[in-house]
Amino acid sequence: MRTAVRGFSLIEVLVAMTIFSFGILGMLGMHARALTTFSDSRYRTDAALLTDGLINDIWVNRANIANYAYTGGGTAPAPVQSWLSQVQATLPAGAANVTVAGSQVTVTVNWQPPNATAAHQHTEVAIIQNP
């Protein structure tokens, strides 16, 4: 009867190692997904901070609100140039446009995360009024 039990512990060890390996692979997959999500949230936060910064600049210089209009092509107006440089330096493939319609300002920032299939966009709309 003792001879029939031989090798059973080896099979148990192999099964345990297989289950452990699948668990480790699952954890590695979750870690990779967490890194991707963290990077994406960082880009969204940076885009929000950049748009807020430009809207704050417009609030301070509201007498020249029309000078901030930028369609995203060609040379940016002087008040927008340094901000646009920040957008391009902070976000991967960063681009922006600013629409001014009377006292309403719409700031849109676009970026393309590395290894992403679709571009991302953040838009903020503000009404700039005299106090």
pLDDT in tens, 61-102: 989 999 999 998 888 999 999 999 999 999 999 999 999 999
Q: If you search the block for the tokens 């301070």, which residue do you land on? A: 60
Predicted local distance difference test score (pLDDT) of residue 7: 65
For the segment 98-115, the average pLDDT, to the nearest whole number, is 93
Query: What is the domain partition of the chain in residue ranges?
Result: 2-127
> What average pLDDT does the structure give for the chain?
89
pLDDT score recorded for residue 6:
66
Where does the pLDDT of residue 111 fall: very low under 50, low under 70, confident under 90, or very high at 90 and above?
very high
Q: What global pTM score does this model have? A: 0.74
Report, as an integer, the average pLDDT of 100-114.
Answer: 93
